[in-house]
């Protein structure tokens, strides 16, 4: 069972629908107690970094998410769920993230040829092809992005995928049980669904 964290601001509908489409058992988790029986966790997210932290705190999810990750259970962050794994964001100075990884989310500062936010399809270059999310996913596949900020890890070794948009930035990370992506696999058609299926299999042991 995949637990999809509901802290009041996430793309729960599309993530839940995608899980149902691929036949992956999933449930919306509105309180930490609802995680009972789950073998994997998805942390989706849309909106502003500071609002996300505030909602996560209010719903009591900060420590349970950290504990889940520390327990080496499968974890997938999507969009803001990726940025939350880091120490903070230029979007909300002084607001701490989960601090699972060292580094910050930075705002795109690009030339006039590139619109911010980046909205639309872009490619992901696989820097760690062994990442479980990439099983059966061709290198340089297209995924759907909507974001104005990108993560800058201090440890380059956790970068699983990169994307070019006026610069080359980290669009996927992987370390042990923790995987996270800047794009939206649930909105990325067959390739994104394959990625979600790969993650679901980690949680079911199939």
Q: What residues are annotated to the active site?
A: 79, 184, 186
Q: Identify the burial level of 68 via C-beta atoms within 10 angstroms of its C-beta, where 0-12 means exposed, 13-18 middle and 19 or more buried.
A: buried
15 touches 41 (CB < 8 A)? no
Q: HSE of 18 in the Cβ direction (CA atoms, 13 Å)?
A: 26
The answer to whether the bond into 201 is cis (omega within 30° of 0) is no
161 touches 124 (CB < 8 A)? yes
Max Cα distance, the chain (Å): 49
- Whole-angstrom distance, CA of residue 29 vs CA of residue 122: 31
- Whole-angstrom distance, CA of residue 46 vs CA of residue 82: 11
Residue written as token pair 């990726």: 82
């Amino acid at each position: 069972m995949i637990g999809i964290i509901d802290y009041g601001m996430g793309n729960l509908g599309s993530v839940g629908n995608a899980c149902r489409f691929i036949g992956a058992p999933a449930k919306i988790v509105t309180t930490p107690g609802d995680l009972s029986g789950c073998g994997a966790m998805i942390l989706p997210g849309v909106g502003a970094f500071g609002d996300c932290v505030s909602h996560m705190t209010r719903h009591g999810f900060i420590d349970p998410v950290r504990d889940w990750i520390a327990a080496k259970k499968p974890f997938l962050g999507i969009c803001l769920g990726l940025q939350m794994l880091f120490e903070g964001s230029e979007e909300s100075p002084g607001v701490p993230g989960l601090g699972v990884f060292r580094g910050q989310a930075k705002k795109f500062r690009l030339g006039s040829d590139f619109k911010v936010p980046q909205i639309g399809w872009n490619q992901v270059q696989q820097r760690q092809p062994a990442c479980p999310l990439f099983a059966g996913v061709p290198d340089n596949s297209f995924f759907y992005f909507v974001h104005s900020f990108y993560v800058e890890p201090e440890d380059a070794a956790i970068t699983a995928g990169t994307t070019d948009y006026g610069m080359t930035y980290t669009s996927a990370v992987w370390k042990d049980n923790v995987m996270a992506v800047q794009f939206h696999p649930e909105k990325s058609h067959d390739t994104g669904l394959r990625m979600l299926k790969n993650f679901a299999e980690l949680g079911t042991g199939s």
